[in-house]
Structure 1
Amino acid sequence: MLRRKLLAALAVSGAAAVSACAPQTVYVPQPVAVAPAPVCDTRFQVVNNSSRTVLTLQYSHASLANWGVDQLGQNVLRPGQVWNARAANTGLYDFRITWLGGGAAELRRVDICRASQIVVTNSGMFAR
């Protein structure tokens, strides 16, 4: 009987010793997947859908008090033409055009990250 108890005790202690040497499961925290921040594409087009020639085009960040320089320079934007541009920063922008022969139109607080076109019509401008 004593021999059985000794063998049982040895078996338990041996099992404990073996389990201490056995590979252990280690849980390593995994990084949490975070969606990347949306990228703002500040490229846009000015589309002249009016029947008149656009003589000047100015735009600036809405936080600024002035319009800045004429972006068309020596060029004009004839009916049906498209002009490609890129805003320097993200955020809200104001736009102003003047037509050859007189008249002007303004469009305020356009989110340049959401609008890809500024459309000039005979009655003004809109963003889409």
Structure 2
Amino acid sequence: MIRRKILALFAVMGAAAVSACAPQTVYVPQPVAIAPQPMAPVCDTRFQVVNNSSRPVFSLQYSHASRNDWGVDQLGQAMIPVGGVWNARAANAGLYDFRITWNGGGAAELRRVDICRASRIVVTNRGLYAQ
């Protein structure tokens, strides 16, 4: 009986010794791949000022709506003639305010135009609108 217990003890110890030598499965965390975020579409800030009024446009000012001033006259010494088009590009995306003055007097303003959506500022005898 003692002999059986000793044999059983050796069997258990042998199994433990063999399992200690056996290859072990080790969990190694793998890095998780994160899908890149899609890039926001690039805003095209180019636009045209189209003079559909009956008078030449003497000055054109525009600035980001977050500013408190109109900025400089973009036309300088030039004018936008009746039926003329002037091409421009805003510095940044966002909302812009526009102001024109006509040759001979009078002015019109248009505020909070999303420059990413509007590609034309149209001057009429009644004022400005965006397309």
TM range (shorter): 0.7 to 0.9
- 2:51 is aligned, of 25, 45, 48, to 48
Deviation (angstroms), 1:32: 3.4
Moved more, 52-61 or 35-44: 35-44
Determine whether 1:62 maps to 2:69.
no
- 1:98 partner amino acid: T
Deviation (angstroms), 1:37: 1.2
- 1:123 partner amino acid: R
Equivalence map 1:116-127=2 (5 Å): 116-127=119-130
Equivalence map 1:88-99=2 (5 Å): 88-99=91-102
Determine whether 1:113 maps to 2:116.
yes
Deviation (angstroms), 1:30: 6.3
CA distance in structure 1 between the partners assigned to 2:123 and 2:111 by the alignment: 13
Aligned residues between the structures: 103
CA RMSD, 1 decimal: 1.7
TM-score (norm 1): 0.74
1:5-57 Cα distance to aligned partner (Å, 9 max, x none): xxxxxxxxxxxxxxxxxxxxxxx976636533111011100000111110000
1:66-116 Cα distance to aligned partner (Å, 9 max, x none): 111100000000111000000011111000000011100000000011110
Q: Which residue of 1 aligns with 2:39?
A: 36
Would you identify which runs of 4 or more consecutive aligned residues in structure 1 move more than 2 Å? 28-36
SS state at 1:126 partner: strand
State, as a whole percentage, how many aligned pairs show the same letter.
72
- 1:102 partner amino acid: G
